[in-house]
Amino acid sequence: MLPVVPAHVDAIVELAGPGLEDRDRLAVELAREHRADYLVQSTLPEDAASGRCLPPQPGITILCFHPDPDTTQGEAEAIEGLARRYNWGSVVLVTTADHAKRATLRVTRCFPGRVYVITSHLPPAYWFRQIPYQWAASAKALLVQRQC
Is 72 among the domain residues? yes
Reported pTM: 0.91
Q: What is the pLDDT of residue 19?
A: 62
Asked if residue 3 belongs to a domain, the reply is no
Residue 80 lies in a domain: yes
Most confident of 110-114, 127-131, 138-142: 110-114
CATH number of the domain that residue 16 is part of: 3.40.50
- The better pLDDT of the pair 51, 61 is held by 61
**So what's the pLDDT on residue 18?**
62
Query: Does 116 map to a domain?
Result: yes
Task: Assess if residue 124 is contained within a domain.
Answer: yes
Q: Is residue 103 part of a domain?
A: yes
Q: How many folded domains does the chain comprise?
A: 1
Spatial neighbors of 147 by CB under 8 A, at least 6 apart, are 109
Q: What is the pLDDT of residues 107-124, one digit of tens each?
A: 999 999 999 999 998 888
**Domain of 86, in residue numbers:** 11-143
